[in-house]
Amino acid sequence: MSVADILAQARDGRRISPADALLLYREGEFIHLGAAANAVRRAQNDPATATYLVDRNINYTNVCITDCLFCAFYRPPGHAEAYVLSREEFARKIDELRAIGGTRILLQGGHHPDLRLEWYEDLLKWLKAEYPDVEANAFSPSEVTHIAEVEKLPLEEVLRRLAAAGLKGLPGGGAEILDDAVRDEISPKKLKTAGWLEAMRLAHKHGLATTASMVIGFGESYEHRVNHLVRLRELQDESLAKHGNGFTAFISWTAQLDTVPMSGLVRRKGLRPAGAQEYLRNIAVARLFLDNFRHHSASWPTQGVAIAQVALNAGCDDYGSTMMEENVVSQAGNSTMSSIVVEEMQLQIREAGFVPAQRDTRYKILKRDGVEAEV
């Protein structure tokens, strides 16, 4: 089958195979991939609208013992710059979010060896009591698995207890590339592919909102990328069939390697980090292959505004979130903005040719073009 045949099949709503996706990666030209992905995006979502989320990314700690080669954010236990946020710091950050109409906080940290499950439960209960109007999506598959290992408890029990304490969603961080040949090289101490997928499988079972992420540019092959997409599509099929609850969206970005230990590894292997063109080709292939993911989100924090605007016409229907602060990717050498005001986000969406619509975590439209949506 030719690239043209595969693109026509995808545009018609027929599922393409892993072999088809591999051919698209190898031979597809972006102008054709992007056009087909845009057609699929328009068929699955309102063609005139691009959504966004008003939220805040809060890094509750930078302490981690996993030593990923691509991370410049973490600090080992006892380091002079190590921290765990106080309740007062949490309160200040959430009050600032609420002041601009925010509806969600995204809590991300590291694998802290000394924080116990009760600490996370108490934090979630406090957040629910003090800020009932702000949803807490928190941690990641690797973080909750780390908590389970510290406590020597089954992962499902940990997720059940966190959900009972107020957890509403499990973000998709830590996926990077879901192929252990890659993971063993870039993050040998971190959760393996099967563990990441199992955490998300259990999160779907317990009704949590989740996203699926993908980070390219570690020197992985196209085969590794296809393996990643296959595993996401298979789990989405399974979760939707069993629970009616799967990933809400897919988001990918390029590895930011300027100031991290892995930058030397990439150079020694004679590889170039993935750039804007590779990012756009990847989001297009993902839209075409992940036919059971309705929503695909652009990544303006890593790619910049101009590329994110192009992404809205190459498969993405969502512009991402305001974030308000970003401390992980930026420390790896990323030079784009780390936050964005709502009015600027709306302007950028309009410049890309769409009507901006504020959404919640599960893509319910709250405001369309700044006007409250009808219930």
pLDDT digits (tens, 9 = 90+) for 217-269: 988 999 999 999 999 999 999 999 999 999 999 999 998 765 545 555 555 55
Span 9-45, pLDDT tens digits? 999 999 999 999 999 999 999 999 999 999 999 999 9
Span 48-69, pLDDT tens digits? 999 999 999 999 888 886 766 6
| 16 falls within a domain | no
How many domains, the chain? 1
In whole angstroms, what is the distance from residue 210 CA to residue 215 CA? 17
> What size, in residues, is the chain?
375
* Residue 184: C-alpha distances to residues 188, 235, 255, 267 (Å): 4, 22, 16, 18
pLDDT at 286 over 60: yes
Give the pLDDT score at 125. Answer: 98
- Per the structure, the complete domain to which residue 173 belongs is given by 55-320
Give the pLDDT score at 328. Answer: 45
**Average model confidence (pLDDT) across the chain:** 89
For 343-368, b/e burial (b = at least 16 CB within 10 A) is eebbebbeebebebbbbbbebeeebb
CB 354 within 8 A of CB 46: no
pTM exceeds cut of 0.75: yes
| 12 falls within a domain | no
Averaged pLDDT, 87-98: 93
Averaged pLDDT, 107-135: 92
| 20 falls within a domain | no
In whole angstroms, what is the distance from residue 288 CA to residue 127 CA? 39
Give the pLDDT score at 84. Answer: 83
Give the pLDDT score at 326. Answer: 47
| 24 falls within a domain | no
Among all chains, which residue has been given the structure tokens 């970003």? 326
Give the pLDDT score at 330. Answer: 41
Averaged pLDDT, 148-156: 96
Which tokens belong to 38? 């845009």
| 281 falls within a domain | yes
* Residue 249: C-alpha distances to residues 14, 172, 271 (Å): 20, 9, 30
- CATH for 137: 3.20.20.70
| 19 falls within a domain | no
| 195 falls within a domain | yes
Percent of the chain with pLDDT over 70: 89
| 5 falls within a domain | no
Averaged pLDDT, 2-6: 97
Averaged pLDDT, 180-192: 89
CB 63 within 8 A of CB 112: yes
Give the pLDDT score at 78. Answer: 75
